[in-house]
Amino acid sequence: MAFVAMDMLLLLLLLLGAAAVQVPGLVRIDLSRDTWTLTNANRSINIHTTVPAHVLAALAKAGVIREDPLYRYGELETRWVAEDPSWNFTLIWPGHRHAALASSRHTLLVLHGVDTFGHVVLNNKHLKATNNAHRSWYIVLQNGILQDAANMLSVVLQPPVAAALYAKATYPYSVPTMAVPGGFNVYNFARKTASDFGWDWGPAFAPSGITAAVELLGFTRAALIGALVHQQLVKVNAAGESAGNRDGSRDSTAGCTTSSSIGSSSSSSTGSHFVLTISAHFLVPEGGDRGTLTV
C-alpha cells in the first residue's frame, strides 16, 4: 500500500507541475498547430505539414514517398531523404498573431525538440545552431525581431550522418564504433537516438525533424512553469543499514532557471522509505525577480 500511496503522491505532484504552466502573466503562443512548409535543399520538394514531424514521415503522408520504407529494400530506396543536403521547416505568420506579447517585457522562442543538427532563423536573423535531440531550446528574442508584418521562422536541418561523420573525422582520438549491415557507425558522435543509425532490430533511417512543440513565451515576472520530481527508494535491513537504492526521475516540463527543495521521506512498514526531491523550474527575467513560493 505504501508503494501505491507514493505513486499517487507523485502523480499529484506531476499534475501540479503541469498546472503551473497556466500561470498569470505568462503568454503562450503555440506555433505547432499552424501549417508549415517543408522543402529540400534545391526546393524540388515543397509540401505542407504540421509539427511535430520527421521528414520521412511527412513525405510519406504527403505522397512524395510511395514505397513502404519498412518493406524489403524500402530502407535503402528512401535513404536519399537522410542524405539530402538540408530540409527546411518554414512557418510564416502575421504580426497580429503575437499581439498578446506586447505587454510582456521578455519573449522567448522555445523549441521543445529538434532532431538534430540544424539552424534556427527568424526573419533572416540566425538565432541558434542545434546539435542535441534530447533537450529543449530556449532562445531569447531581442526587441524588434518580431515584426508587425509577416514573420518567417525557419528550422534548417542538416543530414545527421554527414554531421556525425564530420565530428568523427575531426575528433582527436580514435573511438571504436559498431554498425549493423546497412547501418552507420557514427551513433556515438551525435546526441540523438543511437538506433536511428541502424540496429539489429531496426532500420537505419537517420531521421531529422521537429519532434516537439514550438511556441513563443512572453513574461514579465518570474514564472513557475514546471517541476522535476526525483523519487529514491531506500531499503533498510534489520540492522538499520541501507540495503540498496532504486532511483526514478519524472519530469513534467522544462524551464530556464531551476531552484530545488527537498521533500521529506515517507516510511513504510516493510522497512523501506522514499526520499523525494522536487525541483521547481522557473522563467526568470533579466536582472532577477523576487517573490514568495508556497507549496
Kindly report, residue by residue over 170-196, the tens digit of the pLDDT: 999 999 888 788 899 999 999 999 999
Q: What is the pLDDT of residue 232?
A: 82
Higher pLDDT, 178 or 255: 178
Q: What is the pLDDT of residue 268?
A: 47
Q: What is the pLDDT of residue 278?
A: 78
| pLDDT tens digits, one per residue of 125-169 | 999 999 999 999 999 999 899 999 999 999 999 999 999 999 999
Instruction: State whether residue 109 is helix, strand or coil.
Output: strand
Q: Do residues 103 and 72 touch, judged by C-beta distance below 8 A? A: no
List, in order, residues 6 or more apart from 51 with CB less than 8 Å away. 32, 36, 89, 209, 210, 213, 214
The yes-or-no verdict on residue 82 having pLDDT over 50 is yes
The yes-or-no verdict on residue 216 having pLDDT over 70 is yes
* Nine cell digits for residue 54: 520527421
Across 181-190, 238-247, 268-277, the highest mean pLDDT is recorded for 181-190
The yes-or-no verdict on residue 18 having pLDDT over 90 is no
Higher pLDDT, 61 or 3: 61
Q: What is the pLDDT of residue 69?
A: 93
What average pLDDT does the segment 264-270 reach? 46
Class of residue 171 by CB neighbours under 10 A (exposed 0-12, middle 13-18, buried 19+):
exposed
Across the chain, mean pLDDT equals: 83
The yes-or-no verdict on residue 108 having pLDDT over 80 is yes
* pLDDT band for position 7 (cuts 50, 70, 90): low
Class of residue 219 by CB neighbours under 10 A (exposed 0-12, middle 13-18, buried 19+):
buried
Structural element, H or E, at residue 156: strand 151-157
% pLDDT > 70, the chain? 78
Q: What is the pLDDT of residue 251?
A: 40
Higher pLDDT, 252 or 277: 277
In this predicted structure, which of 4-13, 42-51, 178-187, 243-252 has the lowest mean pLDDT? 243-252
